Chain A
Amino acid sequence: MKALAARRHDRRAPVVLLLLALLLTGALYAVLAPTSADAAAPTATADQVELGEKLFQANCATCHGPDATGTDEYPSLVGVGAASVDFQVGTGRMPAQMNGPQVQAKPVQFDEEQIAALAAYVASLGPGPSVPTAEQVDPALGDPASGQSLFRTNCAMCHNAVGAGGALTQGKYAPNLWSTSPTHVYEAMVTGPQSMPVFNDATLTPDEKRDIIAFLELQGDGSPGGIDLGSLGPVSEGLWAWVVGMGLLIGAAVWIGARSS
């Protein structure tokens, strides 16, 4: 026992143990963590990549650099994946129109083929999340009830309870989600554009993402109660109570109070 105790006091033991622990953690992570590599672009042809590279050089390289590794102010695109390109270019955010607190959505600048080519080129630079399949984003296959409770705990604090949008700091904002396509919603969750955090498959499984899409699909088509007033909550209700309600009532009072003669 004494010998054992003496050996345990070797000065290098903590360092060795720490290294072993780190190695173990790393190995476990490599085994258990969701790999984004398995979602690498499935069918990118060489032609597509070539066309994508040309488009990239003409439209994106000014900011992101000729080899897409980024510049001082703008991010590298190596490893952002096809999903990121499809989201950013597919919603018109990229190419960016101007500097500002946040890059805003605008009319899309490229057609679908060009977007796919750009995505293929960026995906070829390094592994990243790919564009989801139609089945992955089919609202009909999701459960909106599960989607609402997930949305409430993960998304509503920025995007409002039903995705009408909300304010962030310093002029940034979480946009309205009612007209965002299911694919783009999915891509935003896996890539985390701008201020949005990444919701990877460990945070929200692909099925849960589809549930959220199913919930969002039900929003923005009016309310059972009538005009939805923007679904912005009590502030817009109060505004309309004053404008419509008190406006009409005071108008009626003036009419009644007016002398009949």
Chain B
Amino acid sequence: MSTTTSAPSRGARAAAGTADYLDQRTGIGTAVKEFARKIFPDHWSFLLGEIALYSFITLLISGVFLTMFFVPSMTEVHYHGPWPALDGVEMSEAFASTLRLSFEVSGGLLMRQIHHWAALIFVASIVTHMMRVFFTGAFRKPREINWLVGFILLILSLAAGFSGYSLPDDVLSGNGLRITDGVVRSIPIIGSYLSYFIFGGEFPGHDIIPRLFTVHILLVPGLILALIALHLFLVVLHKHTQYPGSGRTNANVVGYPLFPIYVAKAGGYFFIVFGIIALMGATMSINPVWNYGPYDPSPVSAGAQPDWYMLFLEGSLRLMPGGGTEFVIGGDNGFTVSLNVLVPAVVVPGVLFMLLALYPFVEAWATGDKREHHVLDRPRNRPFRTAFGSALLMAFFILVLAGSNDLIATHFHLSINDITWVFRILFFVGPWATFVITKRICLALQRKDRELVLHGHETGQIVRFASGEYIEVHKPLDAHERWLRVQHDAVRPLEIEPAEDSRGVRRPGYRKDRLRQRVSRMFYEDRVEPVTPAELESAHAHGGGDHDSLGSVHQEHAQVGASAPAGEPAPTGGGSRLVAPVDETGDDVRKK
């Protein structure tokens, strides 16, 4: 950097020498140049994924420390240490080493708590990041694969969390393992074999802690690291999406260069994330295993729940009625099918997660859209998607609440039986109501946008003309405001070719097309289309002369129109749609 100055300092010369040494041997200069100039768009919600990345780094750092002291063994020992309530108690070495880590190793408890808080934040930030990606439509072509990579990362983070909190071998984690055992056993026919395979014999056995240790410190983090690398590589390859706004198109990225702006912002944000997690680890107790005591299959304490990201599974199990749901298949010596576990613990989460993973593909199919998208949607402009995502979140949220039903009962003085029944009904009604309400809110917001574009802001000023006529003065939107509200496509349901051609011959593939059309109608039947230039024109012509006589709308509109040629790649993003309001979406399919 400072090599061009007349008298470089010693430090600068040393840095330049090192950089040159590296560049000559690795050619790193090209990569640094490329990356340093890479442009990223600026928005706080693009930092949510970074929270996940940084909390994962925090997990790796604190996790390495923990492995130095944790003993993954189920050998029975007698604990002797500073915690009076467990002195002399028989327990596994895993639990004893966790206590030693907590009470005797310097900084051990802090590291344990940082690790556990970081784990909760890790999954929470993945979910939040995923919500941002979902509701803004960032998963659309070309990013569908990266959505799947992210989805697998979510599942892996659940696996990492679960295998981790089972390691200390306390009563609570043992309860969790017992539920896992039950869930595995509920899988028809192969369940009991799978359980023996996982636990190395009858539950709990002596193998599960060492096995979980390998999964937790080697297998899952290795996979997560590899997939994070792929995830970030794809972000660089696709370039980052950006929010709509004037000047932003599918062909550009508006933002700041990586160096120095984002190096500083992202680097600084790492320290903020680490700092907040460390602060939580230092001040807030988490997973106090000494409260739960060493695992023994018989006791289960009140308030036995998993970490929050597994709570939906607990809730699902708590909601399912038990009676009359078990039967035996395959004769007298057949296999028990336990629907009271299979449905809530395997089928319900399976369906919810599949919907999440496959949604981008279903939407692309229903939209008939093969174009690349680098400009994000405003959630209101895709009412079906926004409503569907909210409904899915509501389903998870209700399950999470159902998993906490005992705490809701004690803290709000309610009957746990009533709460459970309310949640049973809400699990079916809640997502549906959320869908309907969210969709209506989206459509209403779109109508408000139309209203604003056509009539401008209300100023609250009433003018009386000499003739006695009153008008309310509306202040027209400026070009940026208007562009934000009209830039999106009007997505319409797919049109399909008729069932028979002109000679009355049945067209192959018609039934498939008809299904696709039905799904497409479900997505896009109810819609509010953005204002077209013609509508804007007529709104101003009609009474515009009176209403907006104080503004200069016609002039502005003319400018917008002039700035954008009618070609498809709008160079400035300034109003090609306004000039040529053809219905573009789905065109390629319809003309096929």
Cross-chain contact B303 with A257 (CB below 8 angstroms): no
Q: Is the CB of B302 within 8 A of A162?
A: no
Contacts of B406 in A (CB 8 A): 166-167
Kindly state the separation between the CA atoms of A166 and B416 in the bound complex, as whole angstroms: 11
B35 at the A interface (CB under 8 A): no
| Interface majority SS (helix, strand, loop, mixed), chain A | helix
Chain B min CB distance to A148 (Å): 5
Contact B301 A226 (CB under 8 A): no
Query: B-facing mask of A31-56, CB < 8 A → 1, else 0?
Result: 00000000000000000000000000
Cβ-neighbour of A227 out of B86, B272, B284, B298 (below 8 A): B284
| A245 and B121 within 8 A (CB) | yes
B contact residues around A101 at 8 Å (CB):
415
Please give, as numbers and ranges, the residues of chain A lying within 8 Å of B512 by CB-CB distance: none
- B62 at the A/B interface (Cβ < 8 Å)? no
Instruction: Kindly report which residue of chain A lies nearest to residue B268, judged by CB atoms.
Output: A256
Asked if A246 contacts B85 (CB within 8 A), the reply is no
Q: Which of B281-329 contact A (CB under 8 A)?
A: 282-288, 290-293, 296, 298-309, 311
CB of B334 to closest CB in A, whole Å:
34
* One of B172, B292, B409 near A171 (C-beta < 8 A): B409
Residue B260 at the chain A interface, CB threshold 8 Å: no
Query: Whole-angstrom distance from the CB of A158 to the nearest CB of chain B?
Result: 6
Q: Give Cα A159 to B405, complex, Å.
A: 15
Kindly list chain A residues whose C-beta atoms are within 8 Å of the C-beta of B304. Answer: 233
| B89 interfacial contact with A, CB 8 Å | yes
| Closest chain A residue to B286, Cβ basis | A237
Given A232-B303, A252-B276, are A225 and B171 also a contact pair (CB < 8 Å)? no
Asked if B124 and A245 sit within 8 Å, CB to CB, the answer is yes
Cβ of A23 under 8 Å from chain B: no
Chain A positions 158-199 with a Cβ under 8 Å from a chain B Cβ: 158-162, 164-171, 173-174
Judged by a CB distance under 8 angstroms, whether B120 is at the interface is: yes
Given contacts A145-B88, A167-B410, A223-B288, contact A249 B302 (CB under 8 A): no
| Residue pair B85, A152 in contact (C-beta under 8 Å) | no
Q: Do residues B46 and A257 form an inter-chain contact, with CB atoms below 8 A?
A: yes
Q: How large is the interface on A (under 10, 10 to 19, 20 to 34, 35 or more residues)?
A: 35 or more
List residues 84-128 of chain A with CB under 8 A from any CB of chain B: 101
Q: Which A residues are CB-close (under 8 A) to B86? A: 145, 148
Q: Which of B489-527 contact A (CB under 8 A)?
A: none
- Is A253 an interface position by the 8 A CB rule? yes
* Docked complex Cα distance between A152 and B89 (Å): 13
- Nearest CB of B to A15, in Å: 41
| A226 and B285 form a contact (CB under 8 A) | yes
Assess whether A248 is interfacial by the CB under 8 Å rule: yes
B44 within 8 A of A: yes
CB-CB < 8 A to B291: which residues of A?
Answer: 161-162, 223, 231
CA distance A238 to B46 in the complex (A): 24
CB closest residue in chain B, given A248: B276
Whether B276 and A238, one on each chain, are in contact in the complex, defined by CB atoms closer than 8 angstroms, is no
Q: Give the interface residue-count category, chain B.
A: 35 or more
Looking at the assembled complex, report how far the CB atom of B77 sits from the nearest CB atom of chain A, in whole angstroms: 14
The distance from the CB of B167 to the nearest CB of chain A, in whole angstroms, is: 15
How many contacts between A and B, using CB within 8 angstroms?
Answer: 206
Pick the contact of A241 from B44, B87, B117, B273 — CB < 8 Å? Answer: B117
Whole-angstrom distance between the alpha carbons of A96 and B517 in the complex? 66
Is B47 at the interface (CB under 8 A from chain A)? yes
Rounded to whole angstroms, the CA-CA distance of A140 and B272 in the bound complex is 46
CB pair A148 B120 closer than 8 Å: no
Nearest CB of chain A from residue B26's CB, rounded to whole Å:
32
Assembled-state Cα–Cα distance A152/B296 (Å): 10
Is B184 interfacial (CB-CB < 8 Å)? no
- Which of these, A157, A161, A256, contacts B44 with CB under 8 Å? A256
> In angstroms, how far is the closest chain B Cβ from the Cβ of A97?
14
Tell me the minimal C-beta distance from B410 to chain A in angstroms. Answer: 5
Tell me whether B301 and A157 are in contact (CB under 8 A).
yes
A250 and B414 CA atoms in complex are apart in Å by 33
- Residue A237 contacts which of B268, B287, B301, B413 (CB distance < 8 angstroms)? B287
Q: How far is the CA of A259 from the CA of B415 in the complex (A)?
A: 50
Query: Given the interface contacts A224-B102, A225-B284, A237-B120, does A160 sit within 8 Å of B276 by beta carbon?
Result: no
Residues of chain B lying within 8 A (CB to CB) of residue A227: 283-285
Contact of B302 among A144, A166, A253, A258 (CB under 8 A): A166
Q: How far is the CA of A248 from the CA of B279 in the complex (A)?
A: 11
**B42 in complex: contacting residue of A160, A252, A259, CB < 8 Å:** A259
On whether the beta carbons of B285 and A257 are closer than 8 Å, the reply is no
A218: chain B residues at CB < 8 Å are 84-85
Q: Considering residues B103, B273, B287, B293, which has the most beta carbons from chain A within 10 angstroms of its beta carbon?
A: B293
Q: Per a CB cutoff under 8 Å, which of A170, A228, A246 touches B415? A: A170
Residues on B with beta carbons closer than 8 Å to the beta carbon of A231? 288, 291
**Is A234 a contact of B307 with CB atoms below 8 Å?**
yes
Q: Does B576 lie at the interface of the complex (its beta carbon under 8 Å from any beta carbon of A)?
A: no
* A242–B117 CA distance with the chains assembled, in angstroms: 10
Interfacial residues of chain B within 72-117, with CB under 8 A of chain A in the complex: 84-89, 102-103, 109, 113, 116-117
Verify A229–B299 contact, CB threshold 8 A. Answer: no
Kindly report which residue of chain B lies nearest to residue A175, judged by CB atoms.
Answer: B410
Q: How far is the CB of B401 from chain A (nearest CB, A)?
A: 10
Say whether A254 faces chain B, with CB atoms less than 8 Å apart. yes
Q: Is B183 in contact with chain A by the CB < 8 A criterion?
A: no
By a CB distance below 8 angstroms, the chain A residues around B121 are 241, 245-246, 249
A1 on the B face (CB < 8 A): no
In the complex, A170→B308 CA distance in Å? 25
Q: Which residues of the other chain, A, contact B136 by a CB distance below 8 angstroms? A: none
Asked if residues A174 and B44 are in contact (CB atoms below 8 Å), the reply is: no
B311:A257 contact, CB within 8 angstroms = no
Q: B residues within 8 A CB of A164? A: 303
Is the CB of A203 closer than 8 A to any CB of chain B? no
Do A145 and B277 touch across chains, with their CB atoms under 8 A apart?
no
Q: In the complex, A156 Cα to B175 Cα: how many Å?
A: 13
Q: In the complex, what distance in Å separates the CA atom of A169 from the CA atom of B116?
A: 32
Asked whether any CB of chain A lies closer than 8 Å to the CB of B404, the reply is yes
> What is the distance, in angstroms, from A253's C-beta to the closest C-beta of chain B?
4
A59 near B: Cβ within 8 Å? no
CB distance from A182 to the nearest CB of B (A): 16
Closest to A158 in B: B302
Q: Does B259 contact A (CB under 8 A)?
A: no
Instruction: Give the docked Cα–Cα distance between A241 and B473 (Å).
Output: 49
Residue of B172, B301, B418 most packed against chain A (CB within 10 A): B301
Distance in angstroms from A124 CB to nearest chain B CB is 37
Q: What residues of B have a CB within 8 angstroms of the CB of A234 in the complex?
A: 172, 287, 305-308, 311
Choice from B280, B290, B293 contacting A245 with Cβ under 8 Å: B280
Shortest distance between the CB of B306 and any CB in chain A (Å)? 6
Residues from chain B with Cβ under 8 Å of A257 in the complex: 42-47
Complex-state Cα separation, A159 to B304, whole angstroms: 11
Q: Give chain A nearest CB distance to B96 CB in angstroms.
A: 13
A25 to chain B, nearest CB (A): 29
A225 lies within 8 A of B85 (CB): no
B contact residues around A165 at 8 Å (CB) = 302, 410
Question: Which residue of the partner chain A has the closest CB to B302?
Answer: A166
Q: List 7 A-B contacts (CB under 8 A).
A: A167-B416, A171-B418, A225-B288, A233-B303, A256-B265, A257-B44, A259-B42
- 8 more A-B contacts (CB under 8 A) besides A156-B299, A167-B409? A152-B171, A152-B293, A157-B300, A223-B285, A226-B282, A237-B116, A238-B120, A253-B47
Which 6 residue pairs of A and B lie closest in terms of their CB atoms, listed nearest first? A166-B302, A238-B308, A257-B44, A225-B285, A156-B301, A241-B120
A interface, CB within 8 angstroms of B: 101, 144-145, 147-149, 152-153, 156-162, 164-171, 173-174, 215, 218, 223-229, 231-242, 244-246, 248-250, 252-259
